[in-house]
Structure formats: C-alpha cells, structure tokens
Structure 1
Amino acid sequence: MGMDTTIEQPTQARLVTGEGREVPVRAVLRYTANDPLAVFLDFPAEAALHGEEITWTFARSLLDQGLRAPAGHGDVQIWPYGRTRVVLELHSPHGMALMLFQATALRRFLVRTYGMVACGREDVSAVVERGLSALFGGV
C-alpha cells in the first residue's frame, strides 16, 4: 500500500486523581482510514488499573465538538478546560477517569485525520457493512 492508512500520535495526558492531583500518563491517539468515523485512544499497561493496555474508542465528531464546547454523554465526554487544555471524562464499569490533554495536541491530531479522510467523506457504507456482518456472523 502506497499510502499509510493509520495515524498514531503519542501524547502526554494528565490523570486527575480523586484528591485533585495530576498524574502524568502517556497515551497514543490513533486514527485509521478503515474506521473513519472513530478515533482511538490507547493507554499503555502502566496507566491502566489492571496492568493491561486499554483502548477507548469514540466518534471523531465528538472530539471535534469537544474542543470547542462540552460534548458527549455516556461513556465519553469532552469539554474545553481553560484556554489551553481539554478534559476527557471516561466512564467504565470500574469507575470514572478525568484526563487532561493539551488542546493543541488534540487539534493537531484532528487536522491530520481530516488530511487523511475529509469530514463528510467517510465511507460509512463499508463500516456499516462490516458492523452488520459482525452482528450477523458474516465473514
């Protein structure tokens, strides 16, 4: 394949603890042309509760909205925090995590994803087909 179909951008996040302390955490923002509506956030094993790496998946449009105004409900919520940072609030069965990211890093990542697959040009039919075949036990 001539064109690289995945973007990976390592980034530094800060985990806000229950006591309000900020703990640095490494994470990787990932985007793939094969799943154009989603962005992936990979945390290494040492960042996760159970010592295994964990990936969060959410809509690219949610990240776009959350850089400007509070967005999302349910498992992933994103909102601007001050002028330079963005909060990701992640909910799992194990609890809730508040992560702070530099807005510039998230914006740079987003711009790179749009360079690969423009907004509104995502081939959703392939995604739907894949989702349905997974659902109905297709190949």
Structure 2
Amino acid sequence: MSDRIDHRLDTKLVLPFGERITVPTVLSYRTDDPFAVHLIFHAGTHHTIAWAFDRDLLSRGLRRPCGPGDVYIWPTGMGSDAELHLVLSSPQGAARLVAPLPVLAQWLERTYALVPAGQETDGWDVDAELSLLLHGAA
C-alpha cells in the first residue's frame, strides 16, 4: 500500500520573451517511490505530462542553484514572493517553469514528515528486489 501527498498549484511556463502561461500542475509524492517527486502538468489537452526527479534535488534547489542533469533548479526572491525556477530538459527540447517557492517548500516538508530523509529504504527487502532485477519478475 502506498501513501501519497498530492497538491495542486499553478506553475508558469516561461516563454522566450518572458511572457508566462499558467499550467495547472499536481505535485505528487508516493511512499512506494520514496526518492522521487512527481510533477504532473495539465497542458490544456486530454493528455498530461509527468516528470519525476530526485526529492533531495528539489530540497537543495529551494536554497541554491543545482541540478547538473535534465532538471536544473534555482530560487529567486524572498518571502511570500519567492519563486522556484525549473528547467526541464529532454531530447525533444527544454521548458522553463516557475512555481511559488513557499508552496513547494511546505509541500516538501510534508513529504519528509511522511518519509524522513535517510529512511527511504526502511522496510525494503533488498534481497528480493535484487533477485527481481537480476532474474526477472516471477
């Protein structure tokens, strides 16, 4: 059984000339995937776009620029007006999004209350997981 913490918010897609378009987004964290946070974007179609990345990367990105891979994050501003910038890159291109940093920080705190840092693998049967990886699912 998986517990989850979901939160709806509006992120802003930043266009080349600085214009911002609202993109309804769901932040999602699941205990069955304890190292990852998921962003699910609803881009005005029947399809959604999901992006998963390291929860600790998001935590570090709330304080300083980080993310050498397909996700690069940095904070700007202070207080209730602070924003978190996310650049999501794939072979098809990149998107820059902006989200309210205080909202993300509060949601992230809830994920760490559910699964504290360092306890992500508690309760895992490592031998069984390795067996599945090495020998395939039964």
State the shift of 1:133 in Å. 2.8
The residue number in structure 2 matching 1:35 is 33
**RMSD between superposed Cα atoms in Å:** 2.4
The C-alpha deviation readout for 1:16-43, integer Å capped at 9, x for no partner, is: 0012101111100000011111100001
Point out where structure 1 has 5 or more consecutive residues left out of the alignment.
none
> Which whole-Å deviations, capped at 9, do the CAs of 1:38-81 have from their partners, x for residues lacking one?
1000011427xxx6211100000000000000111121111102
TM-score by length of 1: 0.85
2:10 is the counterpart of 1:15: no
The alpha-carbon deviation at position 127 of structure 1 amounts to 8.8
Shift of 1:137: 2.8
Q: Which residue of structure 2 aligns with residue 138 of structure 1?
A: 137
2:24–2:43 Cα contact (<8 Å) kept:
no
Gapped regions of structure 2 (runs ≥ 5)? none
Q: Which amino acid aligns with 1:7?
A: I
Residue in 2 that maps onto 1:109: 107
Q: Deviations over 1:117-138 (max 9, x none)?
A: 0111111683976587357532
Paired residue type of 1:61: D
- 1:79-108 alpha-carbon deviations (Å, 9 max, x no partner): 102220010100012211000010111101
- Going from structure 1 to structure 2, the CA distance change for 1:130 and 1:40 (only over 3 Å counts) comes to farther
Q: Check the 8 A contact 1:35/1:127 in 2, yes or no.
A: no
Query: Scaled by the length of structure 2, what TM-score is found?
Result: 0.85
2:53 to 54, 58, 81: 58
Partner Cα distance (1:93, 1:132) in 2: 32
Separation (CA, whole Å) in 2 of partners of 1:77 and 1:34:
25
SS at match of 2:120: coil
Larger radius of gyration: 2
- 2:33 corresponds to which letter in structure 1? D
SS at match of 2:116: coil
- Number of residues of Structure 1 aligned to a counterpart in Structure 2: 134
**Corresponding residue for 1:81?**
76
What is the percentage of aligned positions where both structures have the same residue?
38
